Amino acid sequence: MPTPPVPPVEDCLSQENCPALAWHRQRLAELAQQAASDSLTGLWNRAHFDRMLDSELDRSRRYRQPVALILFDVDHFKRINDLHGHQAGDAVLRELALVAHSALRAPDALFRWGGEEFVILAPSTGHRGAQRLAQSLCLRVADATFPAIGKLTVSAGVAEHLDAESGNDWFQRADAMLYRAKSEGRNRICTDARGNSDRWAERNGTSALHLVWQEAYECGEPTIDGEHRRLFDLANALIDAFLSGKDESTAIVPAYERLLEHIARHFADEEAILARHGFAGLERHRCAHAGLLARAHALRSEVAAGSAGLGRLIEFLAADVVARHLFKTDSDFYTLFAGDGPSRASIPSG
């Protein structure tokens, strides 16, 4: 493809409106894109991964947001090349890049590491969220049909950044999880279930004026976890209504009604899910729900009468709902969902 002619500098009337400078800027951007891209798949390449890694780690430390890696590769890729040839193998990698990209969220970045290995850099994501993302990826790959060969599977290793480890050490933990997934039979995910999200949750607890959801609070059942996160959002909206100084009837009471309605619906949904999973402590859990809901209704009357202040409200939300119920009572059933899904989460020994 011939190089387009460079506009003459003489055409420039000013630096701000100069065709030659604009041409050079565009060419530099194109060359930078080429240098950062993998020629076979069009994904970001290994060199660009190294550049992005440092900036993501800096952002994670500065804003105390978790960041995770997913390292995955094609199962039995050598067999594909041996049976169908390298051109078929290249076609598989190009198609895999498209399938994998369709599983990503907007902030995620996908790289070709080399050969049949790929890396996903997942910002603001702990090891639990990264495992779910890896599950989505593996399911999409398994459902796809690839040119010349038909079906294939991938294996993945997941690791969240931990403490002050280097980027290389972090990558090696993800690589160790991928190796474990391969050695345990392939077509699976292994996760190093450690990370800054858990450590920050242990150190922070709950704020006096704002309930902060942490990924470490998840049990692994999507409906329950989603409703717990929604509970935090509605509780914070109620606190904000108190702090706004608006009239009780126009701000505080409606916000409390929305929270109370959600709590009742969540308890019913949670009990139905636990019943389906045969939770042995279901009746005890129902009693705990009934007691908490009774206290919530009693507090509603106090809120409506203006006799319950912000301190009483926060004590109920932070102590009764979050600390005692979510952290202690709900933790009794978390083991029910530890093995859900097509993957298996692994904690490395030592």
**DSSP structure class, residue 8:** P
Helix (H) or strand (E) holding 121: strand 117-123
**The length of the chain, given as a count of residues:** 350
- Give the separation between CA 172 and CA 92, rounded to whole angstroms: 26
Class (C level, CATH) for 46-200: alpha beta
**DSSP structure class, residue 11:** G
For residue 145, how many other CB atoms are within 10 A of its CB? 10
Residue scoring higher pLDDT (107 or 83): 83
Catalytic-role residue among 16, 56, 95, 116:
116
At residue 218, the pLDDT reads 84
- Give the separation between CA 236 and CA 232, rounded to whole angstroms: 6
Domain ranges of the chain: 46-200, 205-337
pLDDT tens digits for range 229-288: 888 888 888 887 776 655 556 677 888 888 889 999 999 999 999 999 999 989 999 998
- Identify which of 26, 19, 21 has the alpha carbon closest to the alpha carbon of residue 3: 26
Q: Are 145 and 151 in contact (CB under 8 A)?
A: yes
Same fold, 46-200 and 205-337: no
Residue scoring higher pLDDT (161 or 330): 161
- pLDDT at residue 170 is higher than 90: yes
> Using 50, 70 and 90 to split pLDDT, how confident is the model at 17?
low
- Identify which of 248, 228, 227 has the alpha carbon closest to the alpha carbon of residue 238: 248
What separation in angstroms does the CA of 217 have from each of 161, 210, 213, 235, 321?
A: 18, 16, 7, 16, 13
pLDDT tens digits for range 294-322: 888 888 777 777 666 666 777 777 777 87
- Residue 192's region, left for phi above 0, alpha for psi from -120 to 50, else beta, is beta
At residue 342, the pLDDT reads 38
Class (C level, CATH) for 205-337: mainly alpha
Residue 116 annotated as catalytic: yes
Q: Are 157 and 175 in contact (CB under 8 A)?
A: yes
What pairing do the DSSP bridges indicate for beta strands 117-123 and 154-160?
A: unpaired
pLDDT tens digits for range 46-70: 989 988 898 889 888 877 788 999 9
